[in-house]
Structure 1
Amino acid sequence: MAIPVLLLLLLFADIATATFKICAFNIKSFGEAKASNRKVMSILVKILSRCDISAIQEVRDLKGEAIPALVKEINRYDSSHSYVHLESKRLGKNSYKEQLVFIYRADMVKITDFYQYVEDRPDHPEAFAREPFIVRFHSPKTGEKDFALISHHTCPREAAKEINKLLLVMLEVKSRWRMENIMLLGDLNASCSYLTMDQWKEIQIRSGSYFHWLIGDKEDTTVRQKTHCAYDRIVVYGEDFFKAIIPASAKPFNFKKKLGLSEEEVIISLISLLCVNILTMCVAGGLLTVYCQ
C-alpha cells in the first residue's frame, strides 16, 4: 500500500479577480472515526474550502454519514459558497470497499453527467480493483466551460495493469461525451516499487502524443521526508486542454507551511492520512490566470 497521502492537485483558472481550483487527494480510510476527530476535520475543512472542485479518494464511510458531516462543516466554515457532494457506489471486488467522492461549489460549477466505469468488454479482461468514477462539469465562470474529471485510486500491486487500462477509460469518455477536455487525477501509485522501468514502457497513455503527464517522475508527492515517490499524478488528454495549462506550472506545493504543521503532527494527529503536498497548476488560454500561489 502506498504511504497514505492527502494530495491536492489544484487547477487555477482566472475568474475576474478570483481563481478556479480543481483539487484531488487521497484521504486514507476516511469514515466515521476521522469525521469525529476535530483536528482532522478542521484541517480538511481548511483545505477543501480552497477548492471549487475536490476529487477525494479512499473514502470508507460505511454509514454514509462522514462525507455529509464534512460538507456541513465546510459550509459552516465558508458561507460565501454552497458546497455539495456526489459519491460513487462502494467499490471493491471483496469485503474491502472504497468510494470516490466529488465535493464542489454549486454556485460555481454544475454536474451535467456522471457514471461509474464498468468493465464489460469480453475482449479486455478486468483490471480494476475499483473502477474509475467519471464526472462531467460545466462552469460558466471559465473559458473552457465543459470538462470531464476521472478520479481513480489504483491497487498498488496492480498499478501497471490499471494505469494501462485507463487508456480505454479516457477514450470511452471522449466517445461517450464527444469531448476532449479530459483530466485523469488521483493516487495512481505510479512510482517507486509499484511501477518498474520495464512496466513503464508498456503504459500506453505514457507514450501517446495526446496524453500529457503534468507531474514528473522525479517529483515527491508523499508525506514523509524519507520517502520520495511520485505516486499521485495528473494526466491531461487533448491538445486544447493541455495548451490551456502554463508549461511546467504543475508542481508539488507543501501546505504544511500554510497550516503550520510539523511532519509529526501530520502523521500522528491525522493518523497517517494528511499529505502536505499540493500540486499547483496555473492555466492560460481558455482557462486564464496570471499567477500560482
Structure 2
Amino acid sequence: MGQRFTLLLIFLGVQVGAGAFKICAFNIRSFGRAKAANRRVMGALVQILSRCDISAIQEVRDSRGAAIQTLLRELNRYDPSHHYSRLESKRLGRGSYKEQNIFVYRMDVVSVTDWCQFGDEDARNYKAFARGPFAARFHSPYTAILDFVLLLHHTSPREAAQELELLFGVCTELMQRWKTENVMLLGDLNAAGAYIPASAWAGIRLRNHLAFHWLIGDGEDTTVSHRTCCAYDRIIVHGEELLGAIVPRSAKPFNFTQALGLSEEEALAISDHYPVEVNLRLAPKAQREL
C-alpha cells in the first residue's frame, strides 16, 4: 500500500469531526490477539475507528482483554487530540463460544451515565437470546441531543427473526427504565438474506411499528466479500428528538475497501463486515468550539 496508503489514512484522520458527531457499529470478525498483533490490520482499524466519537464494536473474542487494550492504546497514540475509553459487556454466548460487545468512545466528548446487560440468568424474559443485548446511556454537551441510549446487539444468524422480535421488548424496557424515548439500536443484526425469510418480516414489530426508523435500508451492502450483497448490519432509531438530531442521509456503510485502497483479500483480513455509521448534529455552541 505504501506512501499513497499512508497519505490517504492521514487525510481520513483530518476529516474527523467535520461538523458532526459520528456513531458507528462494527463487527470486527473474531477480534483477538492475532489481529491485535497484525500491524497492518491494527493500522487500518485505528484509522477506521478514529473517525468516530462512539464505536460499537462486536465479536471481541480475546478472553484476557489484551486485544482491546492494544486497540485503545493505539487509538490514543494515533489521535492524541482525544482520549478514548471503553465500556465492555460480559462475555456472551451459551456454550464455549464467547464474544463481547464493547463501546469505544471519546471520553473528552461524551460520557457514559448508565449501562445495562440483558440476558443474565435472572432475566427470564431474555434467555432466548444467544448473546444478551448490551445497552449504554450517553451524555454529550456537544450534540444537538444531550442524552441518548445505544443498544448494541449481535443476533444469532439462525435465530435472527426471533431475536429481532424480542428486541422490541428490550427497547420498551429501556425506555421505561431510563425514562427516555431516544434509543438507537445498532449492530450486526443479520437482518437480511436467508436469515430473515420474507414471511418473517410481518411478525417483527421492530420492523413494522411506526415509531422505529430503519436508517440502513434493505438495499445497502454491509458485507466486504464481492460474493455477498446483504444489509446484515443496521441502525434503527426510536424517538423523534433523536431522529431530529441526525444529519440527513448520513446513515450508511463505510466501505473501507475503497476508502483505504485495499484489495478484497486485504479488506477481509480486517473484517467481513463494513461498519455502519450515522452522524448527530452538533449543538450550536459546539460547532464553534470543536
TM over 0.5: yes
After TM superposition, list the pairs within 5 Å mapping 1:119-268 onto structure 2.
120=122, 124=125, 126-267=127-268
Question: Could you say which structure has the higher helix fraction?
Answer: 2
d(CA) in 2 for partners of 1:245, 1:136: 17
AA aligned to 1:33 is A
Q: What is the Cα deviation at residue 179 of structure 1?
A: 0.5
* CA distance 1:145–1:166, shift in 2 (3 Å): same
d(CA) in 2 for partners of 1:283, 1:105: 15
SS at match of 1:163: helix
SS at match of 1:201: helix
Q: Match of 2:36?
A: 35
Contact 1:144–1:287 under 8 Å retained in 2: no
Would you say how many aligned residue pairs link Structure 1 and Structure 2? 271
d(CA) in 2 for partners of 1:217, 1:198: 15
d(CA) in 1 for partners of 2:187, 2:243: 18
* CA distance 1:171–1:157, shift in 2 (3 Å): same
SS at match of 2:153: strand
Q: Structure 2 stretches of 5 or more lacking a match?
A: 1-15
d(CA) in 2 for partners of 1:125, 1:115: 13
Q: Does 1:281 align with 2:278?
A: yes
SS at match of 1:236: strand
SS at match of 1:165: helix
Q: Match of 2:115?
A: 114
* CA distance 1:46–1:175, shift in 2 (3 Å): same
1:83-140 CA-to-partner distances (Å, cap 9, x unmatched) read: 1111111111111111000111110001111110136565x47320000110001001
Moved more, 32-41 or 185-194: 32-41
d(CA) in 2 for partners of 1:48, 1:55: 10
Q: How big is the alpha-carbon RMSD for the aligned residues of Structure 1 and Structure 2? A: 2.3
AA aligned to 2:69 is P
Q: What is the Cα deviation at residue 19 of structure 1?
A: 2.5
Q: Match of 1:20?
A: 21
Contact 1:87–1:100 under 8 Å retained in 2: yes
Moved more, 136-145 or 255-264: 255-264
Q: What is the Cα deviation at residue 285 of structure 1?
A: 8.9
SS at match of 2:47: helix
Q: Structure 1 vs Structure 2: percent identity of aligned residues?
A: 55
Contact 2:21–2:280 under 8 Å retained in 1: no
* CA distance 1:62–1:214, shift in 2 (3 Å): same
d(CA) in 2 for partners of 1:142, 1:39: 33
Moved more, 254-263 or 178-187: 254-263
d(CA) in 2 for partners of 1:129, 1:164: 14
Q: What is the Cα deviation at residue 283 of structure 1?
A: 4.6
After TM superposition, list the pairs within 5 Å mapping 1:56-67 onto structure 2.
56-67=57-68
Q: Match of 2:12?
A: none
Q: What is the Cα deviation at residue 258 of structure 1?
A: 2.1
d(CA) in 1 for partners of 2:266, 2:282: 40
Contact 2:60–2:100 under 8 Å retained in 1: yes
Task: Give the TM-score normalised by structure 2.
Answer: 0.87
* CA distance 1:281–1:102, shift in 2 (3 Å): closer
d(CA) in 2 for partners of 1:81, 1:282: 18
d(CA) in 2 for partners of 1:288, 1:153: 36
Q: Structure 1 stretches of 5 or more lacking a match?
A: 1-13
Contact 1:19–1:289 under 8 Å retained in 2: no
* CA distance 1:286–1:204, shift in 2 (3 Å): farther
Q: Does 1:48 align with 2:49?
A: yes
Contact 1:58–1:98 under 8 Å retained in 2: yes
Q: Does 1:72 align with 2:69?
A: no
* CA distance 1:125–1:178, shift in 2 (3 Å): closer
d(CA) in 1 for partners of 2:148, 2:175: 10
